[in-house]
C-alpha cells in the first residue's frame, strides 16, 4: 500500500493542499466532474423513477484510469471536493467509478483552504451525504427535463440553437417584464422649487427644498401651481422654524455572500458575475504568495450565509486593536442575521487570514485578483468595526403658509467608513452640514429656483440588480446566478447596453412563447416554491416524488404546446452593406457578442463581418478611417477601413489629439484597472506611464 490519496477538483487546489499535508499524502485533481449525463440525449429514464444514466465525460478516460490506479494502491482515499451539493455529487461519482465505499469515512470538507482547516477535516472524515447528492441530482434532472423537452419546440418554431431552462427562462422574463414597464411608462409632470439662502451678516449659504404647507406635504404638478407658490412667497419673509439637531448612527454592511459579492464587484470594479466568480475561485483555491507559497486567501465563495467563525472574529478584533485606535474596535462581536431561506452550511466570504492585508499580497497577485481580494478584505474588516456616527440637523424654513426643508449631516466619528462603504445602484446625494441656525432667525433669500421635471421610467436591470431581484424572489441559488446570466447573454435573449440588460427581439419572442405555453416555468412564485422543495431534499424528502409531481404537469403542457405552438419568423434587419462575395444586401443579426452583419444567402454564402463604428480618427499608416470593431470573442478593437490592404490594428482607443512631443496619435487604454492616455509611438517617452484619462 502506498500513501493516502486525496482527490480535489482542480490543480490549484491540489497544489495548495499538498503543501499542508506533507509527504504521506498524494493529492490529485479530478478536473471537475468525471461523469455526467450524455449531451446527445436526455439521459434520464422518465418512465422508471427518473433513473439517470451517467457516462464518462469525453476526454476524461485517461485521467480516470490514473485515478483508479492510484486509488487501488492507496492506503486510504479521501474525497475533498467543494463543500456544497455539486462537490458532494462529484465525490459520490468518484466513489462509484473508483470502487470506494461511500458509506465509509471518505468525505472531508473545509470552508477555507488553510493548514488548520485541512488538517482538522481529516479528523472528521464522514460518509458521503446521500441527501446532498439527491438534492444535486434532482436539480440536474429537473433542469435536464425542462431543457430537453421544451427546447426542441423552440428549435421547431423559432430557430435552431435556442434553449429553455428552469432558471434562465424566469430570469429572461424578469428582464422582458421590466422592458414592458419602460415601454408602457407615461411620464408625469412635477415641479420642484429650491431656495438658496444665507444668514444675515454672514457668508454661509445653504439650500432648502420646497415641502408643502403647515398642513403637510404638497405635490406641485404644473407650472400654474408652481407660479402660485412663487407669487405667495415673492415678498414674504423667510425664517427658521422647528430646528432639530441629532445624532445618527450607521451600521457597517455584513460580510459578503455570493450574491452581494457579485453585486458589489459589478458596481465598484465593473466585473461581470462570471469574472467575479472566476477570480474568487482562484483566491479560494490558492495563489502563490511571495514567502508563503500557495495560499488560499478567501473562504468558500458559494454561500448565502452571513455567519463568520468565532476564530475569524477574534483574529479581526486583534488586527483592529493592533492597527487602529481603540474606539474603532467595538466591545461586542458584530453578528449578522442570515435570511430564513439561506443555506447556512458555510461562513460568509472573508479573508482566511486577516493579517494578510491587500498591501502585503499585492505584488503576488494579478491586478484583478488584487482588486477583488481588497474588496473582500475591506468589507470583512469593516463589518467587524464600530458604527459610524454623524451629527444631523434639520430645519423648516417658513415663508407665509409654505415650508421649505433643509437638512445637513456631518461625520462625527468615521468608524467602519474609514475602511469601506457599501455602494448602491441608486445615485447618492451628498449632504453638507447646515450653518449654525437659530429658531426664529430670519434668513436672506439669494435665489428661488423653480424646475420642471418628469417622472422617469423604472431602470433597466444591471447584472447587479438582476442578481438582487433573483435572490429576493428566491430564484436560483448562489451557484446559479452567474451561469444563468451568461446563458441568456450567450443565447442572444438579452444584450448588454453599457451596463444595463435589454431583451432582444429573439428574447421577446422566446419569452412570449414560454409565457403562453409554459406559464409555470416562467412564474416567479412557482419557481421559488420549487427551489424550496429542492432544498427540502437535503432534509431527507424523497427526490423522485418532487420530480414526479413536476413532470406530471409538464407532460400535459408539452403535449398542448406541440399542437398549438405556432411558428414565429425572426425578421432580420437589412443593412446598406453589400456582400462583396455574392452582391446581396447583408442583414444585421444578433450573436453571442452582439450584432454583426451576415449574408442572407446562407448556407450558399457564409460571409459575415463585424458592424464597424466610425471613430472620426484617421489611420496613421494610410490616412483611412479607423473603425471600432469586435473580435470573434466579442473584444473591442480598432482597425483601418482599408483592411486587408492596410494592416493597422490596436486594442487601445485612438484619440483625435496628437502627442505634443512627437506628433503621433494619442490612445486611451486601461492599465491596472485605470484609464490612461499615452502616445501610440513606442519610441516616444510619453509612453512611459502616460497620464490619467
pLDDT the model gives residue 433 = 77
CB 265 within 8 Å of CB 93: no
pLDDT the model gives residue 428 = 47
Q: CA-to-CA distance for 285 and 294, rounded, in angstroms?
A: 9
Which of 527, 506, 508 has its CA nearest to residue 516? 508
pLDDT the model gives residue 677 = 86
Which of 99, 79, 83 has its CA nearest to residue 91? 79
pLDDT the model gives residue 203 = 79
CB 164 within 8 Å of CB 514: yes
Q: Report residue 4 as a C-alpha cell.
A: 493516502
* C-alpha of 455 from chain center: 28
Phi, psi of 133 (to 5 degrees): -60, -45
pLDDT tens-digit profile of 629-642? 876 566 788 988 88
pLDDT the model gives residue 660 = 83
Residues in the chain predicted with pLDDT less than 70, given as ranges, are 1-2, 340-345, 425-432, 590-594, 631-634, 671-674, 685-693
pLDDT the model gives residue 152 = 95
Q: CA-to-CA distance for 268 and 620, rounded, in angstroms?
A: 36
CB 568 within 8 Å of CB 513: yes
pLDDT the model gives residue 487 = 93
Which of 138, 539, 545, 478 has its CA nearest to residue 305? 478
CB 437 within 8 Å of CB 128: no
Q: Report residue 371 as a C-alpha cell.
A: 482588486
Which of 145, 146, 147, 108 has its CA nearest to residue 124? 108
Helix (H) or strand (E) holding 642: none
pLDDT the model gives residue 394 = 94
Give CA separation, 44 vs 1, 149, 166, in Å: 39, 12, 17
pTM of the predicted model over 0.75? yes
Give CA separation, 469 vs 490, 514, 537, in Å: 21, 20, 25
Identify the bridge partners of residue 189 per DSSP, sorted by sequence position. Answer: 454
pLDDT the model gives residue 429 = 47
pLDDT tens-digit profile of 611-624? 778 888 989 888 88
Q: Which residues are catalytic?
A: 300
Residues with Cβ within 8 Å of residue 561, at least 6 apart in sequence? 150, 153, 517, 518
pLDDT the model gives residue 662 = 85
**Domains defined for the chain, CATH in brackets:** 4-128 (3.40.50.140), 137-184+459-564 (1.10.460.10), 189-251+388-454 (2.70.20.10), 258-383 (1.10.290.10), 575-692 (no CATH)
Q: CA-to-CA distance for 8 and 250, rounded, in angstroms?
A: 42
Cβ density class 116-126: b for 16+ within 10 Å, e for less = ebbeebbeebe
Residue 547, classed as helix, strand or coil, is helix
pLDDT the model gives residue 688 = 43
Amino acid at each position: 500500500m502506498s500513501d493516502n490519496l486525496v482527490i480535489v477538483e482542480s490543480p490549484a487546489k491540489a497544489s495548495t493542499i499538498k503543501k499542508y499535508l506533507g509527504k504521506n499524502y498524494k493529492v490529485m485533481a479530478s478536473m471537475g466532474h468525471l461523469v455526467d449525463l450524455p449531451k446527445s440525449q436526455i439521459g434520464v429514464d422518465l418512465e422508471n423513477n427518473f433513473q439517470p444514466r451517467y457516462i464518462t465525460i469525453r476526454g476524461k478516460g485517461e485521467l480516470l484510469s490514473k485515478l483508479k490506479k492510484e486509488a487501488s494502491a492507496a492506503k486510504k482515499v479521501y474525497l475533498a471536493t467543494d463543500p456544497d451539493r455539486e462537490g458532494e455529487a462529484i465525490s459520490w461519482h468518484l466513489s462509484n467509478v473508483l470502487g470506494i465505499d461511500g458509506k465509509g469515512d471518505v468525505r472531508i470538507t473545509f470552508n477555507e483552504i488553510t493548514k488548520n482547516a485541512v488538517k482538522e477535516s481529516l479528523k472528521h472524515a464522514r460518509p458521503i451525504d446521500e441527501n446532498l447528492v439527491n438534492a444535486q441530482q434532482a436539480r440536474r434532472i429537473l433542469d435536464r427535463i425542462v431543457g430537453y423537452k421544451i427546447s426542441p419546440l423552440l428549435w421547431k418554431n423559432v430557430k435552431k440553437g435556442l434553449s429553455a431552462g428552469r432558471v434562465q427562462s424566469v430570469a429572461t422574463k424578469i428582464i422582458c417584464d421590466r422592458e414592458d414597464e419602460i415601454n408602457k411608462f407615461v411620464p408625469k409632470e412635477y415641479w420642484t422649487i429650491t431656495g438658496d439662502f444665507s444668514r444675515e451678516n454672514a457668508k454661509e449659504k445653504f439650500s432648502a427644498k420646497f415641502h408643502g404647507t403647515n398642513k403637510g406635504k404638497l405635490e406641485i404638478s404644473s407650472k400654474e401651481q408652481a407660479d402660485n407658490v412663487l407669487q405667495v412667497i415673492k415678498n414674504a419673509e423667510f425664517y427658521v422654524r422647528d430646528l432639530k439637531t441629532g445624532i445618527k448612527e450607521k451600521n457597517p454592511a455584513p460580510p459578503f455572500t455570493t450574491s452581494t459579492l457579485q453585486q458589489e464587484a459589478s458596481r465598484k470594479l465593473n466585473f461581470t458575475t462570471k469574472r467575479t466568480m472566476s477570480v474568487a475561485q482562484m483566491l479560494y483555491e490558492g495563489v502563490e504568495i511571495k514567502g508563503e507559497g500557495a495560499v488560499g486567501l478567501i473562504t468558500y465563495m458559494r454561500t448565502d450565509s452571513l455567519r463568520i467563525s468565532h476564530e475569524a472574529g477574534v483574529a479581526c478584533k486583534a488586527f483592529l486593536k493592533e492597527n487602529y485606535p481603540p474606539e474603532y474596535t467595538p466591545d461586542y462581536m458584530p453578528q449578522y442575521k442570515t435570511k430564513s431561506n439561506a443555506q447556512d452550511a458555510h461562513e460568509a466570504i472573508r479573508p482566511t487570514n486577516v493579517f494578510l492585508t491587500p498591501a502585503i499580497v499585492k505584488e503576488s497577485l494579478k491586478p484583478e485578483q488584487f482588486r477583488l481580494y481588497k474588496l473582500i478584505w475591506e468589507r470583512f474588516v469593516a463589518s467587524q468595526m464600530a458604527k459610524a456616527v454623524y451629527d444631523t440637523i434639520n430645519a423648516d424654513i417658513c415663508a407665509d403658509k409654505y415650508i421649505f426643508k433643509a437638512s445637513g449631516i456631518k461625520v462625527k466619528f468615521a468608524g467602519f467608513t474609514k475602511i469601506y462603504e457599501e455602494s448602491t445602484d441608486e445615485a447618492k446625494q451628498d449632504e453638507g452640514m447646515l450653518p449654525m441656525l437659530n429658531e426664529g432667525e430670519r434668513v436672506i433669500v439669494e435665489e428661488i429656483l423653480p424646475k420642471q421635471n418628469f417622472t422617469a421610467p423604472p431602470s433597466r436591470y444591471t447584472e447587479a440588480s438582476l442578481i438582487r431581484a433573483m435572490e429576493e424572489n428566491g430564484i436560483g441559488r448562489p451557484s446559479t446566478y452567474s451561469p444563468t446570466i451568461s446563458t441568456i447573454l450567450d443565447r442572444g435573449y438579452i444584450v448588454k447596453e453599457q451596463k444595463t440588460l435589454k431583451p432582444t427581439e429573439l428574447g421577446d419572442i422566446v419569452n412570449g412563447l414560454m409565457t403562453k405555453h409554459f406559464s409555470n416555468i416562467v412564474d416567479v412564485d412557482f419557481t421559488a416554491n420549487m427551489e424550496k422543495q429542492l432544498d427540502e431534499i437535503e432534509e431527507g424528502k424523497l427526490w423522485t416524488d418532487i420530480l414526479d409531481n413536476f413532470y406530471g404537469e409538464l407532460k400535459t403542457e408539452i403535449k398542448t404546446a406541440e399542437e398549438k405552438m405556432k411558428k414565429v419568423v425572426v425578421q432580420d434587419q437589412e443593412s446598406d452593406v453589400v456582400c462583396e462575395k455574392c452582391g446581396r444586401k447583408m442583414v444585421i443579426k444578433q450573436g453571442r457578442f452582439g450584432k454583426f452583419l451576415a449574408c442572407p444567402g446562407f448556407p450558399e454564402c457564409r460571409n459575415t463581418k463585424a458592424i464597424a463604428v466610425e471613430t472620426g480618427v484617421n489611420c496613421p499608416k494610410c490616412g483611412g478611417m479607423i473603425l471600432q470593431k469586435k473580435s470573434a470573442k466579442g473584444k473591442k478593437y480598432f482597425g483601418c477601413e482599408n483592411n486587408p490592404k492596410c494592416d493597422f490594428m490596436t486594442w487601445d482607443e485612438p484619440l483625435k489629439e496628437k502627442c505634443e512631443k512627437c506628433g503621433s496619435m494619442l490612445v486611451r487604454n486601461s492599465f491596472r484597472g485605470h484609464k490612461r492616455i499615452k502616445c501610440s509611438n513606442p519610441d516616444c517617452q510619453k509612453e512611459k506611464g502616460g497620464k490619467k484619462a
